[in-house]
Amino acid sequence: MNDSGISVDAVGWVAIAGDWHGSISWVQSAIPRLHRQAPDVSMIFHLGDFGIFKEAHGSGFLAAVDFLCYSAGISRVFVTPGNHEDWGELAARFAREPGEAVQLSRVVWVLPRGFRFTLGGHRWMSFGGAASVDREFRSEGVDWWADEAPTELDVEGAIAGGPVEVMLTHETVDDGTSQVENILATNPMGWAPKALAYSAESRAKVTRVWNAVRPKVLAHGHLHVKGDIELADGRRVYSLGCNGMPGNLALLNTKTLEWEWLKD
C-alpha cells in the first residue's frame, strides 16, 4: 500500500461525512464543529460528492480543506467518490495507480472502487460512485462521465474479496433507511422514468455487493437525508445529509463500531 495513512492499528473514533459538493463555506463551519465536538478525531471518511474537479474551484476547495484540517488536527480525509466528481480525472489517476488510494492534496486521498483496508481490527471496503438522475441536463466529458456508476466487473471484484464489517458507499441501497425509501417511493423531484431506471440499476449493483459482503455497518450519502436503521439480521445502515442539511457528520468507533451523530 502507498503512504495513505490508513493504519491497521488505528483504534478510536473517526468522522464520517456526507456530501459537501465543493462548498468552501460549508467546510469552514463543519470541520471546526467536528473539532469542537470530537477534538481527538484525526481522520475523516467522506462518502462522496466531495468536490473533486480539475477547475480552479476544485483546487481551491482542496486547499481550503487542507488548511481547515491542519488547523483541526485532522491528518487524513479519505474520499469514497460520488457521482458528481470529475470521473475523467479520477479514472485516469486510478489507472496510473491501480488498486491504490490516490493522493489529491496534503490531506485528501480518494479511494478506488472496491478498495479494502483494516482499521481497528475490522475489515472495511470503499465502493464509490452512483447514478446521476440529472444526467440529461449534463454534458459528457464536461460535468458527467459514464465511469460514475459501478460496472458488473466492479461488483464481481468487490464480492470476490469476501465479507467486511464496514462498507462505505455514495450510492444508496435498496431496503435501507426509511427516509431514503420514502424519497425513492415518492420521487419528490419528479425525475423522468429513464433517469429513475438508471438510478435503480446503479442502486441494484451496490445492493448486490452489500448483501454479499454483509457488513455490520454501511454508510452512504447521495440522497441528502439523515437516517438510520437496524435490520432484523443486525446490519445497520446510515444515510447522511449533505452540506447545509442535518446529519452531515457522524462519528464511528473503529473498535466497537458504535455510531454517534454529531450535533448540528
Q: Could you tell me the CATH number of the domain that includes residue 18?
A: 3.60.21.10
The answer for residues whose C-beta is within 8 angstroms of residue 250's C-beta and 6 or more apart is 15, 16, 17, 219, 238, 240, 259, 260, 261, 262
Give yes or no for residue 76 having a pLDDT over 80.
yes
Please name the residue that has the C-alpha cell 456526507. Answer: 18
Biggest CA-to-CA distance, the chain: 47
119 with 163: CB under 8 angstroms? no
What is the DSSP code (8-state) at residue 136?
Answer: G
**Grid coordinates in use for 186?**
415518492
pLDDT tens digits, 225-256: 999 999 999 999 999 999 999 999 999 999 99
Domain assignment present for 186: yes
What is the DSSP code (8-state) at residue 190?
Answer: -
CB-CB neighbours of 175 under 10 Å: 12
Total-model pTM: 0.96
Domain assignment present for 97: yes
pLDDT class for 56, splitting at 50, 70, 90? low
Q: Where are the alpha helices (DSSP H) in the chain?
A: 24-37, 56-72, 87-96, 152-160, 178-186, 193-213
Rounded distance between C-alpha atoms, residue 237 and residue 71, angstroms: 31
pLDDT tens digits, 166-199: 999 999 999 999 999 999 999 999 999 999 999 9
**Grid coordinates in use for 40?**
481527538
Rounded distance between C-alpha atoms, residue 27 and residue 68, angstroms: 8
The reported pLDDT for the residue numbered 1 is 45
Domain assignment present for 8: no
CB-CB neighbours of 198 under 10 Å: 18
Domain assignment present for 181: yes
The reported pLDDT for the residue numbered 39 is 97
- φ, ψ of residue 236 in degrees (nearest 5): -115, 145
Residue 195 three-state SS: helix
Domain assignment present for 4: no
- Across the range 196-204, mean pLDDT stands at 97
What is the pLDDT of the chain when averaged over all its residues? 95
Domain assignment present for 110: yes
Domain assignment present for 61: yes
- Across the range 10-22, mean pLDDT stands at 92
Residue 210 three-state SS: helix
Cα 154 to chain center, whole Å? 16
Residue 110's domain comprises 13-261
Domain assignment present for 2: no
Domain count, the chain: 1
Burial 56-69 (b: 16+ CB within 10 A, else e): eebeebbebbbebb
